[in-house]
Amino acid sequence: MYYNNKKLVLFSCAFFLFNSVNAQQNTKISMSLNQIWEKVTANNRTIQMQDLSVKRTVEGIKDAKAERLPEISAEGEYAKVSNMPIYDNGLFHTPSQFEVVHTSYSFGGNAYFNLYNGNKTNIKIAEEKKENEIAIEHRNLTTAEIKLRATAYFLDLQRSNIFKALLLKDISDQEKQLEEIRQLLKNGVVLKSDVLRVTLKLSRQKMALVQLNNDLTIANQKLNILTGLPDETVIEPVADTAADLPVLKPYATYLSDAMAHSFAYKISEKETELRKLELKNVKANVSFKLGLFATYSYSYPQIFIYPYSISLYGLGMAGVKASFPISALYHNTHKARAAGLKYQQQEVEHSDTEDKIRQEVNEAYLRYQESLTRIDVAKENISQATENLRIVNNTYFNQLALVTDLLDADTQLLQTRFDYAAARIAAQLQFYQLQKAIGNL
């Protein structure tokens, strides 16, 4: 017996010494949930990648608008020209040589300004703007998902800290109770097995405390990674656990908010609009093109107009250019049909997304409602377990109950307190899941 007690004392000392050393090495910081969200939004790498995607689409809009500007190019050519053989008597006879100017060069520029091309430029700009809107909604959705994950880790830390406090208090109570039972053993009132059972339970509680501290460390590291903090940072969650949980609004209100603000719904809606623009763009392939053009160049020698001249000359042209792609009448048919089917597919997908959002909102709503009920039940269970422990404790020390009854009563009270804390944390998480479902996170 003395040996077992000595092991427990050494184990406890080593455990708390280990924690003390770690505490000196780690940086503790108290943070509220809003502060966690601010850190996540500013430092999370996944959100940073989405920010870059938004910036990329902004450049895409600028590039599409730049297509309205005229196309201007410059070109030059320098060449050495060989003599011109003349085959007077056929290809298999020696030709005579016609002397030519052996140096040729030209340089100049040309410009084209589009007046009309089936409205394809405007459609392209509208597509890029829609891509930008989709990228923004993707960033918002990613931010909401990361914030919800950070909320889960934050609440996990909060719950573990509550469990740890309850467990430490229970260990302290158990140690006092163990001393009382040992005193009864000395007086010959109880059996030695009673002391052994209580000691065993106390050992298990201390082992549970080790596991709980590991859970805290793991959840803390996950939260550090999401927020961009160093791994050695110890986050102490600041939250008012006594605050009332938000009251449920009518389900129709949440559903209406989801259809107006849900990021997934907006993404699907804008992707449908994008497919419609893509269909218009494909149909615009069968349309004439009209534009202004101008070109001017210097060339040497002058062999463009007869009689030729061994001199440098300049020639410019300007006018209106029009064209119509006749082959597009049959080449574009299947492209237009494919784009139309893609648009129809996206419309069906949009309806499917709406169904999923309704299901997500309904489930989050019911789960939050259920968690509020679970809190009320847990409160009642604590009252009953407290009264049960009081009765069993009195009957045991009056030799009217077994030690197993006392241990069960202790365990039931601790479990009900765990259940109450877990129910409050779960309710908070369910509430934030509901907010994420309606696009309000």
- Residue 307 lies inside a defined structural domain of this protein: no
- Residue 25 lies inside a defined structural domain of this protein: no
Full residue range of the structural domain in which residue 365 is found: 31-43+128-288+326-437
Q: Which residue has the higher pLDDT, 70 or 386?
A: 70
Residue 135 has pLDDT above 90, yes or no: yes
The token pair at 253 is 């209100």
Q: Give percent above pLDDT 70 in the chain.
A: 91
Residue 83 CA to chain centroid, in angstroms? 70
- Residue 93 lies inside a defined structural domain of this protein: no
- Residue 100 lies inside a defined structural domain of this protein: no
Give me the CATH number covering residue 184.
Answer: 1.20.1600.10
The residues with which 31 forms a beta bridge, in sequence order, are 237
Residue 406 has a pLDDT of: 74
How far is Cα 110 from Cα 80, in angstroms, rounded to an integer?
Answer: 24
- Residue 255 lies inside a defined structural domain of this protein: yes
Say how many residues make up the chain: 441
Residue 241 has a pLDDT of: 52
- Residue 358 lies inside a defined structural domain of this protein: yes
Residue 419 has pLDDT above 80, yes or no: yes
Residue 191 has pLDDT above 80, yes or no: no
Angle formed by the axes of helices 403-437 and 251-261, to 10°?
50
Contact present, 38 and 227 (Cβ < 8 Å): no
Q: What is the pTM of this model?
A: 0.77
pLDDT-derived band at 319 (thresholds 50, 70, 90) equals: very high
- Residue 95 lies inside a defined structural domain of this protein: no
- Residue 122 lies inside a defined structural domain of this protein: no
Domain count, the chain: 1
pLDDT in tens, 138-172: 999 999 999 999 999 998 888 888 888 888 887 88
pLDDT in tens, 330-367: 888 899 999 999 999 999 999 999 999 999 999 999 99
Is residue 90 helix, strand or coil?
coil
